[in-house]
Amino acid sequence: MAATNWTLPLADPTAELTTVGGKGASLARLAGSALPVPDGFHVVTDAYRAFVDSETVATALKADLDAEAVAELFASADLPAGLAEELTEHCGKLSAPFAVRSSATAEDLPDLSFAGQMDSFLNVTEPADVIAAVRSCWASLWTDRAVEYRRRNDIDSTGLAIAVVVQELVPARISGVLFTADPVSHRTDHLMVNSTWGLGESLVDGTVTGDQYIIDKASHTVITRDLGDKTVEAVPTETGTRQRPITGDRRSGSTLTDDQLALLAELGTRIEDLYGRPMDIEWAWTDEPHILQARPITGLAEDREVWNDSLIGDFLWTSVNLGEAMPNVMTPAAWALIRENLTVAMVLPEPKPVPLAGNIGGRLYLNYSAMIGTATALGFGRLMSSASEIVFGGLPADLTVPPLPMPRGRIIRQTLSAGVRAMRQLRHYQGNLDRLVAEYPQRCERARQAIHSADGPERLQQIWTEHCAPLFHDAPRMLAAGSRVNATILTRLRPWLRRLVDEADVSALTSGAGAGGQEMASLGPLRGLQQLADGQIDRDTYAARWGHRCPDELEVSTPRPAEDPEWIDRQLANLAGAPDVDELLELQSRRRAEAMDRFRAAHPRQVAKLRRWLSKNAESVRAREATRSESVRCIWVMREWMIKVGEVTGLSDDVFFLSPPEMLRVLAGDSTVASVIPARKAAHRHYQALPVYPTLIRGRFDPEAWAADPHRRTDRFEKATGRLPTRTAGDDSATVSGTPGSAGVVEGIARVIIDPDDAGMLEVGEILVTKVTNVGWTPIFPRAAAVVTDIGATLSHAAIVARELGIPAVVGTGVATERLRSGDRVRVDGSTGTVEVLSLRDCRVNTRWLWRRGATITSIMETIVFVHGLGSGPRAWHPQRIALQGRYRVVTPTLPGHGDKPGPFTLRSAVEAVTDELCRGAHLVGMAAGGTIALLAAMTHSPLLGSLTLSSPITHQTTTGALHRAVAAVATPSMLRSILWLPESPNPATRAVIAEDLAACGRTTIREALTKLSHIDLRPRLDQVTVPTLVLAGQRDRVGIDAATETAYRLSEARLHLVPDAGRMWNLELPNTFNRILTGFIDVHTHRTVGG
């Protein structure tokens, strides 16, 4: 191309990304493929470069001008020689009016669309106006929004250029957008069409709610149609466009016929085939369709595997017990290890083809039907049922166990011989158990040393054969042997004791497995910490003994605590202020002795039998815990071998998406194995974004449909299940029931904690409420006055450790984390297995029960309630919670329809979710739509509040039309982020949090919420807010600044603070600045008086 040739024909084959930008290259490709694209031409990137390289412009740009100054400069500086003449000539060959559109070299890419970042101009009639529009398109590369978009997406502006596309403007009767894959459901066999009357700008900017059609891609038939309320249409005028009202049937009627939709579907399929991927297509219709633009759909889910063993038939599945060691979504590597070893550890052959364990949406479940059905066929079903109730918990009375779909004879033939072999192995391992357990740590250490020194694929294959495979073979067999030491005592001791003594004495007498100097692995990490704090052992010794135990210890991709240099310090911090572990154990020892005295007095002839059985029980507990600990140590070895495989093969952490046999194939040189990794990673990300599934699942379970159900149950799933009654505001008599785990009655403040990393939120003497615990939670227990779990049974971790420490526990409630809220005052009765909600209290007063002194103390702690925005979740306040907890009581409620909180979303339900957490003197903080909810709460609760802080609040419908645009339901995930003002943070962790929360929330909730918010106007009611208020906004948040300024002006006791270099959710990007401003304001409005 000559230096003075500033234009190219629209379909020119040399029109590539570097010469005509992303939009121009796409249009050239479409036009060159005989698709109906309006005629036009390109103004190439060399024209822009020549313009900005001129001395006048280049010198001015070095001065770091703002957007307004850049626009003035670009409008007046001299154009490259000959450009004006070329533009005038080409316009003369086309029919006016024109559409003039920007086309940047980083635009319309597969992973970044740049949608809406650069300017376009419609209905341009004269060549002189086309020239002016070209200047304005160039300048739009330097608007605040375009610069910020590049910064958020880490795009270097150096060398970035912009082209311009000039086309004949289509006098559209109908306009819209066509997605060749459904951007909401991610179904690639569907197309979505959105349309409205007139030009498309009224649909794109959200002025109207258009029509939406879902079309079957194969047959081009319409599946669903959702007709919008099309109040206006954009039409051309002499100076641009205007909005013209729509009346009559056109307003609510369909814009497109089925024949027109079929033709659009045909064009969309052709374009998708041309690009080889799902596309986002803008179109217009006169008497025929015209394609205006096509870009890849960004944010569409990748091809992914389906992990759902519930689809194999009608079986009952449970996550109790197994869910302790694997509480999160599994990687394929972890699932491969578990699947191979579980049947060995249970000494129960699989009744193939029915599996004993299943992967349901990435989570680990036991097939209860297979377990009971096989045991029944082999003649010990009653014994298995009794043992299962202790290990896996009792089943609801109205829940039946579906039988295995095969006759007993077939089950026996398939399992008997394997069962006999398993029993022979079991006897061998039981006879050598003490030696095997004692030698196992040294065997693991030798394997780890060999792995660390491995220098190539051949050596790693050899290490697998020599070290890993034998360790992997022995681990489940040791666990099977340890779990069956004095196995019958499990089903005999507690029922016998309950006939003779009350539940408190049963709990006391069956504790003490670690007494008398005997080591109990579940308590090991806790007792080791106490020894470390007392100087009895050093840090290396502690890490060697317990560095392999963690909350997600069966997940091979999870780092072991010993890999984290700061891990021990965090564990020691959990002990700070908590009762001394040895004193707790001594106190429980005295209770046990007192219970024995009472038993001796009441049943003197049974004492000898009791002592024998208690000794057998203690031996059983210790053996089971010790072999489980060593089995987990094996997982650490497997992890280090896999990490080395990733290093040697270049797969890095992707290795965890392969099974060990597949890894061995990669080491042998088979590079094709890695092709499965992308689909598995996509599946893992997808299932991680869903809420935790029910504890009990019967039949075929659809994780996505369940997660989308606003009335979903978290305790059980079956087709006949109705809605779970949920607690309403003010219902102070709500009771949660579960299995008695450890006897005792305690009243106190509930603290709901899902992640053990948030253990610092649990104040000493509060009641820990969580989904499930395992050994990684053990160091937290001394802080708790009681423990309540959703998942668990008599032999679950929470029950065992609580009994040893003398802490009341109720396990297996199914719904505690849903029904109880942090700050509730509750009564936990570990003898009856009930948790009663008493009332809310002044949550600034923190009452702590100190076990070792039996004294009650009261201290003051200000409460801050953080309200997240739409499409977000409590994790949006994670930096504030981490930084402020301890100094303040931090509460982060979940709004309805978000995360695990059932919907539907209404303003009333959202406000209730917030006001349920308020107490006298609380400080309320809201972000964006969360600010709207906070404002509504403050209107009725101002006398209760200490202060109110609003960041970029939404008080009325904005002129951007973002709310209407979302309600129009044309949003892809990336568009939703833009609509909801969620940042594309440069921090990967922040991006992951935003993406996961948005996925968990779902489009239905967003539509419900934005529909409500699009009609709200709080400005006339702001005088009802009488609490001191701080209004914040980031200076990069243009919409937020306007809303914040008006809100601060209208509130009687408000001050405005604009923050430099801050966007919308700046609490995530500038957490230290946010925390400093917030706490400075709160401290001024804190009145430290004791209440309650």
Q: What is the CATH number of the domain that holds 870?
A: 3.40.50.1820
Question: What is the sign of the dihedral through the CA atoms of 769, 772, 775 and 777?
Answer: negative
Asked whether residue 221 is domain-assigned, the answer is no
Contact residues for 609 (Cβ-Cβ < 8 A; gap 6+)? none
Q: In one letter, which amino acid is 376?
A: T
d(CA 371, CA 404): 10
Those residues with Cβ within 8 angstroms of residue 390's Cβ, 6 or more apart along the chain or in another chain: 490, 491, 494, 793, 794, 795
- Give residues with Cβ within 8 angstroms of 287, minimum separation 6: none
Burial class (CB in 10 A: 0-12, 13-18, 19+), 910: buried
Closest listed residue to residue 504, CA positions, set 934, 907, 116, 830: 830
Note whether 756 and 561 are within 8 A (CB).
Answer: no
* Helices and strands (H and E) in the chain: how many: 40, 34
Which two structure tokens, joined as six digits, stand for 528? Answer: 């080791």
Non-local CB neighbours of 392 within 8 Å, separated by 6+ positions: 318, 320, 321, 366, 368, 793
- Phi, psi (deg, nearest 5) at residue 263: -65, -40
Pairing of β 739-742 and β 809-811: antiparallel
> What are the tokens at 896?
């309805």
* Predicted local confidence at residue 839, as pLDDT: 67
Q: Choose the final residue of a domain: 608, 627, 646.
A: 627
CATH number, residue 116? 3.30.1490.20
Distances from the Cα of 439 to the Cα of 428, 435, 436, angstroms: 16, 6, 5
- What SS3 class is residue 582? helix
Encode burial over 648-661: b for 16+ CB neighbours within 10 A, e otherwise.
bbebeeebbbbbbe
Of 589, 607, 627, the residue that ends a domain is 627
In a domain, 942, yes or no: yes
DSSP 171: -
Q: What is the SS3 assignment for 714?
A: coil
972 CB-contact burial (10 Å; exposed 0-12 / middle 13-18 / buried 19+): buried
SS3 751: strand
Cα separations (Å) of 545 from 370, 482, 519, 532, 662?
A: 36, 19, 12, 12, 31
User: For residue 234, which phi and psi values (nearest 5 degrees)?
Assistant: -85, 130
- Asked whether residue 118 is domain-assigned, the answer is yes
Domain end position, chosen among 596, 611, 627: 627
284 located within any domain: no
Cα 32 from Cα 50, distance rounded (Å)? 28
Q: What is the mean pLDDT of each run of 10 residues along the chain (1092 residues)?
A: 71 83 88 93 92 87 79 90 93 92 63 52 90 92 71 57 91 92 78 90 72 91 88 80 87 93 95 85 93 78 80 91 85 94 83 90 93 87 79 81 87 81 88 94 96 94 96 94 87 91 90 75 84 88 88 90 83 79 88 94 95 92 91 95 94 94 94 88 81 89 75 76 39 72 90 76 87 86 92 86 92 84 85 84 36 32 86 84 77 85 80 83 90 88 85 67 40 44 46 64 68 70 83 77 78 80 78 83 58 30
How is the beta sheet containing 889-891 ordered, strand by strand? 889-891, 863-867, 922-927, 945-951, 1029-1034, 1054-1059
Helix (H, G, I), strand (E, B) or coil at 298: coil
In a domain, 732, yes or no: no
- Cβ atoms of 471 and 443 closer than 8 Å: yes
pTM of this structure: 0.58
Collapsing DSSP to helix, strand or coil, 1031 comes out as: strand
Are the CB atoms for 228 and 212 separated by under 8 Å? yes
d(C-alpha 982, C-alpha 1040), whole Å: 12
The predicted pLDDT at position 960 comes to 39
| Gap between the Cα atoms of 387 and 346, Å rounded | 12
Q: What is the amino acid identity at position 192?
A: M
Residue 248: other Cβ atoms inside 10 A: 7
Query: In sequence order, which residues have a C-beta less than 8 Å from that of residue 439 and are 6 or more positions away?
Result: none
Q: What is the pLDDT of residue 39?
A: 95
Q: Is 82 inside a domain boundary?
A: yes
Helix axis angle, 368-377 relative to 408-431, nearest 10°? 90
Distance CA 283, CA 268 (A): 10
d(C-alpha 929, C-alpha 378), whole Å: 60
Domain count, the chain: 3
Tokens coding 1044: 């914040």
Q: Is residue 185 in some structural domain?
A: no
Supply the range of the domain harboring residue 49: 1-169
CA 1060 and chain centroid, separation: 30
Cβ atoms of 743 and 536 within 8 Å: the answer is no
CA–CA separation, 422 and 409 (whole Å): 20
